[in-house]
Amino acid sequence: MGTFKEIFNQYDWDAVSHSIYNKTSQDVKVALGKERIDLNDFQALISPAALPFLEQMAIRSHMITQKRFGKTIQMYAPMYLSNECQNICTYCGFSLDNKIRRKTLSGAEILREVMAIKSLGYDHILLVTGEANRTVGMDYFQQALEIIKPHFSHISMEVQPLDEEDYALLNEWGVNTILVYQETYHQAEYKKHHPKGKKSNFNYRLDTPDRIGKAGMYKIGLGALFGLEDWRADSFFTALHLDYLERTYWQTKYSISFPRLRPFSGGLEPKVEMTDKDLVQLICAYRILNEEVELSLSTRESEKFRNNAIKIGITSISAGSKTNPGGYTVEPQSLEQFEISDERSPEEMAKVIQDAGYEAVWKNWDKVLV
C-alpha cells in the first residue's frame, strides 16, 4: 500500500495557488449549483471570488451540518501532559530554544488534573505534549493512560508523530483519536519553521496519518496552522489529504481543526493574515465539500467568533482550556504553549450553546446519538 506522499508529489504549490486565485464568480456559481462538489469546486469556494457568496455558503453549510449532526456541539478539554520538547518550531511556546521552565506531569499530578477536568463536566479529553521521546515517549504514555482511561469515554491525543506499531499500542491502550497537523504543506516554508528536531522531517510528518490509519485508529484529525503560508493553498492540500484518507481508510472517522497563529513569548507574526471572514468562508467550504467530517474550533478564537461559528458548521468546541501542564490545578500560565482568546468557563460556553438553540454534548458523539 502506498501513502499520500505519492499523490502529494503530483501537485505543485504555485500551480495550485494560481488555480485558486484565478477562479471566477461563475466557477463559484457552478460549485454552489451542485449537490456534491469536488476538489476543483472546493478551490472555487475558498477563492477570493467566493466572498460575495458568503451568506449563501453559510446557509448551505448550516443546513448540511444540522442534517448530519443535529443541533449538537461536542465539548472537549485539552490536557497538557508536558511542555518538554526537542524541536525548534518558530511559532511554538514549547520550542527548544525558548527559555521556559519545563514540566512533565507525574502520575499524582495527572490524577489531580483529571479530577479538575472531570469537575468541569468533561467526558472527552485531548492529551497534548511536546516532542521529547526520551522523557515523554511510549512508556510515559502507557503509564498516563492507565490513570486517565477510567475517567473518560473518549480520549484524543496530539503528540509527536509515531511509528505504526506505536499507534497500534495507543489504540490498544484506549486512545480513540489522534490529531496530527501538517502545519503547512509548503515544503520550503515548513523547513524554515522547523529547523531542528525530528519534526523537521517533512515527509515523515506527511505520512503520519497513513501510519495512524494502518494502525486502525478510530478517528484522525487533520489541519494546517494558518499564518505560516497562504491559507487557501494549505486548505486545499488538507482537503486533498482528507479525500485520500477517506478513500483509503474508509472505516476511520475524520476531523478538521482551524488553528490560527496566536501570540506567545517572543512569538512569530503571521506571514499571511487570515481574517475572521476568511475563516468563516473556509469552514463553510469544508462543510459543503464533506458532510461527514467533524469541524473543531478551539479557544484560540474570540468569544464573538465562536458564538457565531456554532451555527455555520462547527461540531466540536473546547472551553476553559489551559495550554500548560498542570494548568487546571496549580501551575502558572507562564508555561503555556500559546495565549487563548476565549477565556469563558465550560459552563458559560454551554449556556451560549443552549441560548443558540443547540445542545452541548459532554460525552462522545456515538454514545449519545446512536
Say if CB 148 and CB 116 are below 8 A apart.
no
- pLDDT value at position 331? 62
**Does residue 281 surpass a pLDDT of 80?**
yes
Q: Which residues contact 140 (CB under 8 A, 6 or more apart)?
A: 81, 82, 104
Q: Check pLDDT > 90 for residue 170.
A: yes
Q: Report the chain's mean pLDDT, rounded to a whole number.
A: 91
**330 burial class (0-12, 13-18, 19+ CB within 10 angstroms)?**
exposed
Tell me, what amino acid is at 106?
S
The pLDDT value recorded for residue 83 is 85
* DSSP conformation class of 49: G
Q: Which of 49, 68, 50 is nearest to 58 (CA)?
A: 50
Quick one: 357 exposed, middle or buried, by C-beta within 10 A (0-12, 13-18, 19+)? Answer: exposed
pLDDT at 135: 84
Question: Which residue type sits at 45?
Answer: L
Distance CA 116, CA 357 (A): 28
pLDDT at 208: 97
Output the pTM of the full model: 0.92
C-alpha 181, offset from chain centre: 7
Sorting pLDDT into bands at 50, 70 and 90, what band is 333? low
Q: What confidence tens digit (pLDDT) does each residue in 81-134 have?
A: 998 876 777 777 676 566 777 889 999 999 999 999 999 999 999 999 878 777
Q: In this predicted model, what pLDDT tens digit does every residue of 51-83 receive, in sequence order?
A: 999 999 999 999 999 999 999 999 999 999 998
Query: Could you tell me the domains of the chain?
Result: 4-369 (3.20.20.70)
